[in-house]
Copies of this chain bind each other. A is one copy, B any other.
């Protein structure tokens, strides 16, 4: 399961994406309000996303956060990883959060690992081709669909 932190991050980034215009900052408080995210928590999350290079910021009055890339270039897999959420089901198949299993005699011949690897591939295939822009597109399609 994704952490709340990750979900908040995605929602916040979607807000930035919807009003995307290069370097145009939006304030934390505005995002927190529209997305119903605890203000201070969001502050911490955006700071982290900034350190990861996903968003940029401007300090001072009229400051705020903005996407550092076009919404088409920011992938869901990147966001999940940047906010600490491993995608894999077991640490032994995680690229970014790898850890070997204490009990495993031989990782290479572990049948469970083999399956879990497949699951990871399938998940990453979807998550790494889906951008913020894609999510917004999907949203619009769904709205149309349910209006009819």
Contact = CB atoms under 8 A, between A and B. Distances in A.
B143 A109 contact: yes
A36 B126 CA distance: 36
Contact of A115 (B90, B118, B130): B130
| Copies in the assembly, this chain | 2
Given A76-B115, A108-B146, A139-B111, A89 B1 contact: yes
Interface in A104-132: 106, 108-112, 114-115, 118-119, 122-123, 125-127, 130
Contacts of A125: 122
A146 B113 CA distance: 15
Contact count band on A: 35 or more
A109 to B, nearest CB: 4
Contacts of A61: none
A148 interface: no
Interface in A34-93: 35-37, 76, 86, 88-91
